[in-house]
Structure 1
Amino acid sequence: MPSSSSVRSSRPSGTTVAIAAGVLVAALLLGFASYTATRPQTPSTTGSAAEVSAEPGSGTYPELVKLARRDAGDPLAMGRADAPVVMVEYADFKCGYCGKFARDTEPALVKKYVDAGVLRIEWRNFPIFGAESESAARAAWAAGQQGRFWQFHAAAYAEGAKEKGFTGDRLEALARQAGVTDLARFGRDVDSAAAKKAVKRDQDEAYGLGATSTPSFLINGRPIAGAQSERTFTEAVDAAAKAAR
Protein backbone atom coordinates (compact mmCIF):
# COMPACT_ATOMS: atom_id res chain seq x y z
CA MET A 1 0.00 0.00 0.00
CA PRO A 2 1.35 3.48 -0.80
CA SER A 3 2.60 5.47 2.14
CA SER A 4 1.08 8.82 3.11
CA SER A 5 4.38 10.66 3.21
CA SER A 6 7.65 10.86 1.33
CA VAL A 7 10.83 9.93 3.15
CA ARG A 8 14.48 10.86 3.08
CA SER A 9 16.63 8.58 5.19
CA SER A 10 19.43 10.97 6.07
CA ARG A 11 19.85 14.64 6.95
CA PRO A 12 22.52 17.00 5.58
CA SER A 13 25.86 16.74 7.33
CA GLY A 14 26.70 19.58 9.66
CA THR A 15 23.10 20.25 10.67
CA THR A 16 23.13 20.78 14.40
CA VAL A 17 20.06 21.98 16.26
CA ALA A 18 19.73 22.29 20.01
CA ILE A 19 16.59 20.58 21.26
CA ALA A 20 15.06 21.21 24.68
CA ALA A 21 14.24 18.15 26.77
CA GLY A 22 10.51 18.43 26.19
CA VAL A 23 10.97 18.86 22.46
CA LEU A 24 13.20 15.79 22.37
CA VAL A 25 10.30 13.70 23.65
CA ALA A 26 8.13 15.12 20.89
CA ALA A 27 10.85 14.43 18.35
CA LEU A 28 10.76 10.76 19.29
CA LEU A 29 7.00 10.75 18.78
CA LEU A 30 7.25 12.52 15.42
CA GLY A 31 9.95 10.11 14.31
CA PHE A 32 7.73 7.19 15.26
CA ALA A 33 4.78 8.82 13.50
CA SER A 34 6.88 9.25 10.36
CA TYR A 35 7.83 5.57 10.51
CA THR A 36 4.29 4.26 10.97
CA ALA A 37 2.95 6.63 8.34
CA THR A 38 5.38 5.32 5.74
CA ARG A 39 5.68 1.61 6.46
CA PRO A 40 3.44 -0.81 4.51
CA GLN A 41 0.08 -1.52 6.13
CA THR A 42 -0.69 -5.05 7.27
CA PRO A 43 -3.89 -6.48 8.75
CA SER A 44 -2.39 -6.02 12.23
CA THR A 45 -1.24 -2.45 11.58
CA THR A 46 -3.77 0.20 12.56
CA GLY A 47 -1.68 3.27 11.84
CA SER A 48 -2.01 4.38 15.46
CA ALA A 49 0.49 7.19 14.96
CA ALA A 50 -2.02 8.93 12.69
CA GLU A 51 -4.95 8.47 15.05
CA VAL A 52 -6.09 11.58 16.88
CA SER A 53 -7.68 11.60 20.30
CA ALA A 54 -10.69 13.86 20.73
CA GLU A 55 -9.48 14.74 24.21
CA PRO A 56 -8.38 18.40 24.31
CA GLY A 57 -4.61 18.64 24.68
CA SER A 58 -4.02 14.92 24.19
CA GLY A 59 -0.73 14.24 22.40
CA THR A 60 0.35 17.88 22.44
CA TYR A 61 3.64 19.37 23.64
CA PRO A 62 3.83 22.91 25.06
CA GLU A 63 7.34 23.35 23.63
CA LEU A 64 6.00 22.70 20.13
CA VAL A 65 3.12 25.13 20.55
CA LYS A 66 5.74 27.86 20.85
CA LEU A 67 6.97 27.16 17.31
CA ALA A 68 3.91 28.93 15.90
CA ARG A 69 5.38 32.30 14.91
CA ARG A 70 2.06 34.19 14.64
CA ASP A 71 3.72 36.93 12.60
CA ALA A 72 0.90 38.99 11.08
CA GLY A 73 3.22 40.01 8.24
CA ASP A 74 4.35 36.49 7.33
CA PRO A 75 3.66 36.02 3.59
CA LEU A 76 4.01 32.24 3.96
CA ALA A 77 1.05 32.03 6.33
CA MET A 78 -2.71 32.36 5.99
CA GLY A 79 -5.33 33.06 8.60
CA ARG A 80 -5.58 35.35 11.58
CA ALA A 81 -2.40 35.74 13.62
CA ASP A 82 -4.51 35.35 16.77
CA ALA A 83 -6.44 32.30 15.58
CA PRO A 84 -6.93 29.76 18.39
CA VAL A 85 -5.32 26.96 16.34
CA VAL A 86 -2.11 27.07 14.32
CA MET A 87 -1.09 24.30 11.94
CA VAL A 88 2.60 24.41 11.07
CA GLU A 89 3.25 22.51 7.83
CA TYR A 90 6.74 21.26 6.86
CA ALA A 91 6.71 20.33 3.17
CA ASP A 92 8.68 19.99 -0.05
CA PHE A 93 7.43 21.00 -3.51
CA LYS A 94 8.87 17.81 -5.02
CA CYS A 95 6.93 15.66 -2.53
CA GLY A 96 4.01 13.89 -4.20
CA TYR A 97 2.10 13.43 -0.96
CA CYS A 98 2.55 17.11 -0.11
CA GLY A 99 0.87 17.86 -3.42
CA LYS A 100 -1.92 15.43 -2.64
CA PHE A 101 -2.53 17.15 0.69
CA ALA A 102 -2.44 20.58 -0.98
CA ARG A 103 -5.00 19.57 -3.59
CA ASP A 104 -7.28 17.17 -1.73
CA THR A 105 -7.29 18.17 1.94
CA GLU A 106 -5.98 21.67 2.57
CA PRO A 107 -8.71 23.51 0.60
CA ALA A 108 -11.39 21.96 2.81
CA LEU A 109 -9.49 23.00 5.95
CA VAL A 110 -9.18 26.54 4.61
CA LYS A 111 -12.89 26.76 3.85
CA LYS A 112 -14.03 25.21 7.14
CA TYR A 113 -11.52 26.68 9.59
CA VAL A 114 -9.27 29.40 8.14
CA ASP A 115 -12.13 31.38 6.65
CA ALA A 116 -13.97 31.10 9.97
CA GLY A 117 -11.01 32.51 11.91
CA VAL A 118 -10.38 29.26 13.80
CA LEU A 119 -7.20 28.07 12.04
CA ARG A 120 -3.98 29.67 10.89
CA ILE A 121 -1.67 27.76 8.54
CA GLU A 122 2.05 28.52 8.68
CA TRP A 123 4.20 27.06 5.91
CA ARG A 124 7.75 25.92 6.53
CA ASN A 125 10.00 25.09 3.59
CA PHE A 126 11.47 21.63 4.21
CA PRO A 127 13.37 20.73 1.01
CA ILE A 128 14.72 17.20 1.30
CA PHE A 129 14.87 15.95 -2.30
CA GLY A 130 17.93 17.72 -3.63
CA ALA A 131 18.80 20.81 -5.62
CA GLU A 132 15.42 21.28 -7.30
CA SER A 133 13.69 21.09 -3.93
CA GLU A 134 15.98 23.84 -2.66
CA SER A 135 15.36 25.98 -5.75
CA ALA A 136 11.59 25.57 -5.52
CA ALA A 137 11.66 26.49 -1.82
CA ARG A 138 13.60 29.67 -2.52
CA ALA A 139 11.29 30.50 -5.42
CA ALA A 140 8.23 30.08 -3.21
CA TRP A 141 9.80 32.40 -0.65
CA ALA A 142 10.61 34.90 -3.41
CA ALA A 143 7.02 34.82 -4.66
CA GLY A 144 5.96 35.52 -1.10
CA GLN A 145 7.99 38.72 -1.07
CA GLN A 146 5.53 40.00 -3.67
CA GLY A 147 2.48 38.63 -1.87
CA ARG A 148 2.03 35.64 -4.18
CA PHE A 149 3.26 32.73 -2.08
CA TRP A 150 -0.04 30.84 -1.91
CA GLN A 151 -0.65 31.36 -5.62
CA PHE A 152 2.83 29.94 -6.31
CA HIS A 153 2.05 27.10 -3.89
CA ALA A 154 -1.10 26.25 -5.88
CA ALA A 155 0.75 26.37 -9.21
CA ALA A 156 3.66 24.23 -7.99
CA TYR A 157 1.32 21.63 -6.50
CA ALA A 158 -1.05 21.46 -9.45
CA GLU A 159 -1.54 17.98 -10.92
CA GLY A 160 1.48 17.16 -13.09
CA ALA A 161 3.52 20.23 -12.07
CA LYS A 162 6.11 18.24 -10.14
CA GLU A 163 6.88 16.07 -13.15
CA LYS A 164 7.89 19.15 -15.18
CA GLY A 165 10.67 19.90 -12.72
CA PHE A 166 11.76 23.05 -10.94
CA THR A 167 14.59 24.47 -13.05
CA GLY A 168 15.16 28.19 -13.56
CA ASP A 169 12.87 28.62 -16.57
CA ARG A 170 10.19 26.47 -15.01
CA LEU A 171 10.28 28.46 -11.77
CA GLU A 172 9.83 31.70 -13.71
CA ALA A 173 6.87 30.16 -15.54
CA LEU A 174 5.31 29.20 -12.21
CA ALA A 175 5.91 32.74 -10.93
CA ARG A 176 4.11 34.14 -13.99
CA GLN A 177 1.26 31.71 -13.39
CA ALA A 178 1.11 32.83 -9.76
CA GLY A 179 0.79 36.47 -10.78
CA VAL A 180 4.24 37.65 -9.68
CA THR A 181 4.56 41.03 -11.41
CA ASP A 182 8.22 41.96 -10.98
CA LEU A 183 10.01 38.97 -12.47
CA ALA A 184 13.41 40.68 -12.37
CA ARG A 185 13.08 41.11 -8.63
CA PHE A 186 11.80 37.55 -8.35
CA GLY A 187 14.95 36.27 -10.03
CA ARG A 188 17.17 38.27 -7.70
CA ASP A 189 15.24 37.15 -4.64
CA VAL A 190 15.44 33.47 -5.58
CA ASP A 191 19.25 33.60 -5.50
CA SER A 192 19.54 35.97 -2.55
CA ALA A 193 21.20 35.28 0.77
CA ALA A 194 17.91 36.18 2.46
CA ALA A 195 16.09 33.38 0.63
CA LYS A 196 18.75 30.83 1.52
CA LYS A 197 18.70 31.94 5.15
CA ALA A 198 14.90 31.74 5.39
CA VAL A 199 14.77 28.27 3.86
CA LYS A 200 17.59 27.00 6.06
CA ARG A 201 15.84 28.34 9.16
CA ASP A 202 12.71 26.33 8.34
CA GLN A 203 14.70 23.25 7.35
CA ASP A 204 16.76 23.29 10.53
CA GLU A 205 13.60 23.67 12.60
CA ALA A 206 12.10 20.55 11.01
CA TYR A 207 15.25 18.47 11.43
CA GLY A 208 15.53 19.68 15.01
CA LEU A 209 12.08 18.26 15.71
CA GLY A 210 13.10 14.88 14.39
CA ALA A 211 10.99 15.13 11.23
CA THR A 212 12.15 12.56 8.68
CA SER A 213 9.41 12.80 6.07
CA THR A 214 7.20 15.23 4.23
CA PRO A 215 4.63 16.43 4.85
CA SER A 216 4.88 16.74 8.62
CA PHE A 217 2.59 18.90 10.73
CA LEU A 218 2.17 20.43 14.16
CA ILE A 219 -1.36 21.38 15.19
CA ASN A 220 -1.12 23.43 18.37
CA GLY A 221 1.85 21.30 19.36
CA ARG A 222 0.43 17.94 18.24
CA PRO A 223 2.68 16.14 15.70
CA ILE A 224 1.04 14.52 12.68
CA ALA A 225 3.13 12.83 9.98
CA GLY A 226 2.03 12.27 6.41
CA ALA A 227 -0.87 13.27 4.18
CA GLN A 228 -3.41 11.66 6.45
CA SER A 229 -7.15 11.67 5.86
CA GLU A 230 -9.16 14.87 6.08
CA ARG A 231 -10.87 13.41 9.14
CA THR A 232 -7.53 13.14 10.97
CA PHE A 233 -6.93 16.86 10.47
CA THR A 234 -10.47 17.97 11.30
CA GLU A 235 -10.40 15.94 14.51
CA ALA A 236 -7.05 17.47 15.45
CA VAL A 237 -8.22 21.02 14.73
CA ASP A 238 -11.52 20.49 16.57
CA ALA A 239 -9.69 19.11 19.62
CA ALA A 240 -7.17 21.97 19.56
CA ALA A 241 -9.94 24.57 19.26
CA LYS A 242 -11.77 22.97 22.17
CA ALA A 243 -8.61 23.00 24.29
CA ALA A 244 -7.98 26.65 23.39
CA ARG A 245 -11.45 27.56 24.63
Structure 2
Amino acid sequence: MMSFVLLAQMGNEQVGWLSRKLLGVTLTSAEWVLWVLVVLSVLSIALMLERAVYFATHRLPNSEELALRLARGDFDAVRAAVSKAKGMEAAVLREGLAAMELGADTVEEVIASTVARERPQYERYLSFLGTLGNNAPFIGLFGTVLGIIKAFHDLGNMGAKGAAIQQTVMAGVSEALVATAMGLAVAIPAVVAFNVFNRQLKTLTSRTTALGHALVGSLRAERSPSTPRAVASGEAR
Protein backbone atom coordinates (compact mmCIF):
# COMPACT_ATOMS: atom_id res chain seq x y z
CA MET A 1 0.00 0.00 0.00
CA MET A 2 2.89 2.39 0.58
CA SER A 3 3.63 2.27 -3.12
CA PHE A 4 0.11 3.55 -3.81
CA VAL A 5 0.64 6.39 -1.32
CA LEU A 6 3.97 7.37 -2.87
CA LEU A 7 2.50 7.22 -6.37
CA ALA A 8 -0.45 9.32 -5.29
CA GLN A 9 1.76 11.91 -3.61
CA MET A 10 4.04 12.25 -6.65
CA GLY A 11 3.07 14.80 -9.23
CA ASN A 12 2.16 13.71 -12.70
CA GLU A 13 5.43 15.20 -13.94
CA GLN A 14 7.38 12.78 -11.71
CA VAL A 15 5.60 9.70 -13.02
CA GLY A 16 6.52 7.89 -16.24
CA TRP A 17 4.37 8.15 -19.34
CA LEU A 18 3.06 4.58 -19.11
CA SER A 19 2.36 4.95 -15.39
CA ARG A 20 0.38 8.14 -16.03
CA LYS A 21 -1.71 6.42 -18.68
CA LEU A 22 -2.41 3.38 -16.53
CA LEU A 23 -3.15 5.59 -13.54
CA GLY A 24 -5.61 7.58 -15.61
CA VAL A 25 -7.42 4.35 -16.54
CA THR A 26 -7.47 2.90 -13.02
CA LEU A 27 -8.70 6.15 -11.44
CA THR A 28 -12.09 5.69 -13.04
CA SER A 29 -14.85 4.71 -10.64
CA ALA A 30 -15.03 1.03 -9.71
CA GLU A 31 -18.82 1.16 -9.64
CA TRP A 32 -18.98 -0.35 -13.12
CA VAL A 33 -17.43 -3.52 -11.66
CA LEU A 34 -20.33 -3.70 -9.20
CA TRP A 35 -22.81 -3.36 -12.04
CA VAL A 36 -21.07 -6.16 -13.93
CA LEU A 37 -21.36 -8.36 -10.84
CA VAL A 38 -25.04 -7.47 -10.44
CA VAL A 39 -25.76 -8.44 -14.05
CA LEU A 40 -23.83 -11.70 -13.63
CA SER A 41 -25.70 -12.42 -10.42
CA VAL A 42 -29.11 -11.96 -12.06
CA LEU A 43 -28.03 -14.10 -15.01
CA SER A 44 -26.71 -16.87 -12.77
CA ILE A 45 -29.93 -16.95 -10.72
CA ALA A 46 -31.99 -17.18 -13.91
CA LEU A 47 -29.86 -20.07 -15.17
CA MET A 48 -30.10 -21.85 -11.80
CA LEU A 49 -33.90 -21.68 -11.91
CA GLU A 50 -33.96 -22.82 -15.54
CA ARG A 51 -31.70 -25.79 -14.80
CA ALA A 52 -33.69 -26.70 -11.68
CA VAL A 53 -36.93 -26.78 -13.69
CA TYR A 54 -35.28 -28.76 -16.50
CA PHE A 55 -33.86 -31.40 -14.18
CA ALA A 56 -37.18 -31.70 -12.33
CA THR A 57 -39.24 -32.15 -15.51
CA HIS A 58 -36.82 -34.40 -17.43
CA ARG A 59 -36.61 -37.45 -15.20
CA LEU A 60 -38.59 -40.59 -14.49
CA PRO A 61 -39.93 -40.71 -10.93
CA ASN A 62 -40.61 -44.47 -11.12
CA SER A 63 -37.37 -45.71 -12.69
CA GLU A 64 -36.96 -48.47 -10.06
CA GLU A 65 -40.39 -49.86 -10.87
CA LEU A 66 -39.64 -49.76 -14.60
CA ALA A 67 -36.37 -51.59 -14.02
CA LEU A 68 -38.30 -54.40 -12.29
CA ARG A 69 -40.77 -54.55 -15.18
CA LEU A 70 -37.89 -54.82 -17.63
CA ALA A 71 -36.37 -57.64 -15.63
CA ARG A 72 -39.70 -59.48 -15.83
CA GLY A 73 -39.95 -58.90 -19.59
CA ASP A 74 -43.03 -56.67 -19.35
CA PHE A 75 -41.93 -54.53 -22.31
CA ASP A 76 -45.41 -53.32 -23.28
CA ALA A 77 -46.02 -51.73 -19.88
CA VAL A 78 -42.64 -50.00 -19.98
CA ARG A 79 -43.26 -48.77 -23.51
CA ALA A 80 -46.59 -47.27 -22.44
CA ALA A 81 -45.04 -45.65 -19.36
CA VAL A 82 -42.31 -43.81 -21.28
CA SER A 83 -44.27 -42.99 -24.44
CA LYS A 84 -44.82 -39.34 -23.42
CA ALA A 85 -42.14 -38.92 -20.77
CA LYS A 86 -39.23 -36.50 -21.14
CA GLY A 87 -35.58 -36.94 -20.32
CA MET A 88 -32.62 -39.21 -20.79
CA GLU A 89 -34.15 -42.25 -19.10
CA ALA A 90 -37.33 -42.15 -21.18
CA ALA A 91 -35.40 -41.60 -24.42
CA VAL A 92 -33.11 -44.54 -23.71
CA LEU A 93 -36.02 -46.87 -23.01
CA ARG A 94 -38.04 -45.72 -26.03
CA GLU A 95 -35.21 -46.12 -28.50
CA GLY A 96 -33.95 -49.30 -26.89
CA LEU A 97 -37.40 -50.91 -27.05
CA ALA A 98 -37.82 -49.74 -30.64
CA ALA A 99 -34.60 -51.53 -31.61
CA MET A 100 -35.14 -54.71 -29.59
CA GLU A 101 -35.97 -56.73 -32.70
CA LEU A 102 -32.41 -56.14 -33.93
CA GLY A 103 -30.86 -57.95 -31.01
CA ALA A 104 -29.31 -57.16 -27.64
CA ASP A 105 -25.99 -55.97 -29.08
CA THR A 106 -27.70 -53.42 -31.29
CA VAL A 107 -29.88 -52.25 -28.40
CA GLU A 108 -26.75 -51.77 -26.31
CA GLU A 109 -25.24 -49.54 -29.00
CA VAL A 110 -28.47 -47.60 -29.36
CA ILE A 111 -28.55 -46.98 -25.60
CA ALA A 112 -24.98 -45.70 -25.57
CA SER A 113 -25.71 -43.41 -28.52
CA THR A 114 -28.85 -42.04 -26.85
CA VAL A 115 -27.03 -41.29 -23.60
CA ALA A 116 -24.29 -39.46 -25.51
CA ARG A 117 -26.92 -37.41 -27.34
CA GLU A 118 -29.07 -36.56 -24.31
CA ARG A 119 -26.33 -35.78 -21.78
CA PRO A 120 -25.32 -32.39 -23.29
CA GLN A 121 -28.90 -31.19 -22.81
CA TYR A 122 -28.42 -31.55 -19.05
CA GLU A 123 -24.93 -30.02 -19.10
CA ARG A 124 -26.14 -26.84 -20.82
CA TYR A 125 -25.16 -23.67 -18.90
CA LEU A 126 -23.31 -25.64 -16.22
CA SER A 127 -19.97 -24.50 -17.61
CA PHE A 128 -21.13 -20.89 -17.21
CA LEU A 129 -22.00 -21.47 -13.56
CA GLY A 130 -18.67 -23.17 -12.94
CA THR A 131 -16.72 -20.40 -14.67
CA LEU A 132 -18.64 -17.72 -12.80
CA GLY A 133 -18.07 -19.43 -9.48
CA ASN A 134 -14.34 -19.59 -10.12
CA ASN A 135 -13.87 -16.07 -11.47
CA ALA A 136 -16.43 -13.81 -9.76
CA PRO A 137 -14.14 -13.33 -6.71
CA PHE A 138 -11.38 -12.11 -9.04
CA ILE A 139 -13.76 -9.63 -10.67
CA GLY A 140 -14.66 -8.35 -7.21
CA LEU A 141 -10.99 -8.18 -6.26
CA PHE A 142 -10.33 -6.16 -9.40
CA GLY A 143 -12.95 -3.65 -8.30
CA THR A 144 -11.38 -3.50 -4.85
CA VAL A 145 -7.95 -2.78 -6.29
CA LEU A 146 -9.38 0.02 -8.44
CA GLY A 147 -11.11 1.49 -5.40
CA ILE A 148 -7.94 1.39 -3.30
CA ILE A 149 -5.89 3.06 -6.04
CA LYS A 150 -8.48 5.82 -6.30
CA ALA A 151 -8.59 6.26 -2.51
CA PHE A 152 -4.83 6.75 -2.24
CA HIS A 153 -4.78 9.05 -5.25
CA ASP A 154 -7.48 11.23 -3.71
CA LEU A 155 -5.52 11.20 -0.46
CA GLY A 156 -2.41 12.47 -2.22
CA ASN A 157 -4.33 15.26 -3.93
CA MET A 158 -6.03 16.35 -0.70
CA GLY A 159 -2.82 16.81 1.23
CA ALA A 160 -4.53 15.66 4.43
CA LYS A 161 -2.58 15.17 7.65
CA GLY A 162 -2.99 13.31 10.91
CA ALA A 163 -6.42 11.84 11.62
CA ALA A 164 -7.74 13.08 8.30
CA ILE A 165 -5.42 10.64 6.49
CA GLN A 166 -6.80 7.67 8.42
CA GLN A 167 -10.37 8.79 7.89
CA THR A 168 -9.89 9.30 4.15
CA VAL A 169 -8.05 6.01 3.61
CA MET A 170 -10.42 3.92 5.70
CA ALA A 171 -13.49 5.35 3.99
CA GLY A 172 -12.04 4.65 0.55
CA VAL A 173 -10.88 1.13 1.45
CA SER A 174 -14.23 0.20 3.02
CA GLU A 175 -16.03 1.27 -0.15
CA ALA A 176 -13.54 -0.66 -2.28
CA LEU A 177 -14.02 -3.86 -0.26
CA VAL A 178 -17.70 -3.88 -1.22
CA ALA A 179 -16.63 -5.19 -4.64
CA THR A 180 -14.85 -8.18 -3.06
CA ALA A 181 -17.90 -8.96 -0.93
CA MET A 182 -20.11 -8.70 -4.00
CA GLY A 183 -17.82 -11.04 -5.94
CA LEU A 184 -18.04 -13.65 -3.20
CA ALA A 185 -21.82 -13.25 -3.00
CA VAL A 186 -22.06 -14.03 -6.71
CA ALA A 187 -19.52 -16.87 -6.69
CA ILE A 188 -20.75 -18.95 -3.74
CA PRO A 189 -24.29 -19.68 -5.04
CA ALA A 190 -22.90 -20.39 -8.51
CA VAL A 191 -20.41 -22.93 -7.16
CA VAL A 192 -23.08 -24.61 -5.00
CA ALA A 193 -25.51 -24.83 -7.93
CA PHE A 194 -22.79 -26.18 -10.23
CA ASN A 195 -21.94 -28.97 -7.76
CA VAL A 196 -25.60 -29.81 -7.10
CA PHE A 197 -26.50 -30.06 -10.78
CA ASN A 198 -23.40 -32.12 -11.54
CA ARG A 199 -24.32 -34.52 -8.75
CA GLN A 200 -27.87 -34.82 -10.08
CA LEU A 201 -26.53 -35.47 -13.56
CA LYS A 202 -24.28 -38.27 -12.29
CA THR A 203 -27.22 -39.83 -10.44
CA LEU A 204 -29.45 -39.55 -13.51
CA THR A 205 -26.77 -41.09 -15.73
CA SER A 206 -26.36 -43.98 -13.30
CA ARG A 207 -30.12 -44.62 -13.26
CA THR A 208 -30.22 -44.48 -17.06
CA THR A 209 -27.35 -46.95 -17.30
CA ALA A 210 -29.14 -49.27 -14.87
CA LEU A 211 -32.30 -49.19 -17.00
CA GLY A 212 -30.26 -49.89 -20.12
CA HIS A 213 -28.56 -52.87 -18.49
CA ALA A 214 -31.93 -54.17 -17.32
CA LEU A 215 -33.32 -53.99 -20.86
CA VAL A 216 -30.30 -55.61 -22.48
CA GLY A 217 -30.14 -58.30 -19.83
CA SER A 218 -33.82 -59.11 -20.25
CA LEU A 219 -33.43 -59.39 -24.03
CA ARG A 220 -30.48 -61.73 -23.70
CA ALA A 221 -32.30 -63.83 -21.12
CA GLU A 222 -35.25 -64.25 -23.46
CA ARG A 223 -33.12 -65.59 -26.29
CA SER A 224 -30.66 -67.71 -24.34
CA PRO A 225 -32.81 -70.40 -22.59
CA SER A 226 -33.11 -72.51 -25.73
CA THR A 227 -29.35 -73.06 -25.82
CA PRO A 228 -29.03 -74.78 -22.45
CA ARG A 229 -32.05 -76.95 -23.21
CA ALA A 230 -30.50 -78.15 -26.47
CA VAL A 231 -27.26 -78.93 -24.72
CA ALA A 232 -29.09 -80.85 -22.00
CA SER A 233 -31.05 -82.94 -24.53
CA GLY A 234 -27.84 -83.75 -26.37
CA GLU A 235 -26.18 -84.93 -23.18
CA ALA A 236 -29.18 -87.13 -22.38
CA ARG A 237 -28.77 -88.90 -25.69
Scaled to the shorter chain, the TM-score interval is under 0.3
> Of the two, which has the highest radius of gyration?
2
Q: Quick one: higher RCO (CA 8 Å, sep 6+), 1 or 2?
A: 1
TM-score (norm 1): 0.23
TM-score by length of structure 2 reads 0.23
Which structure: greater helix fraction? 2
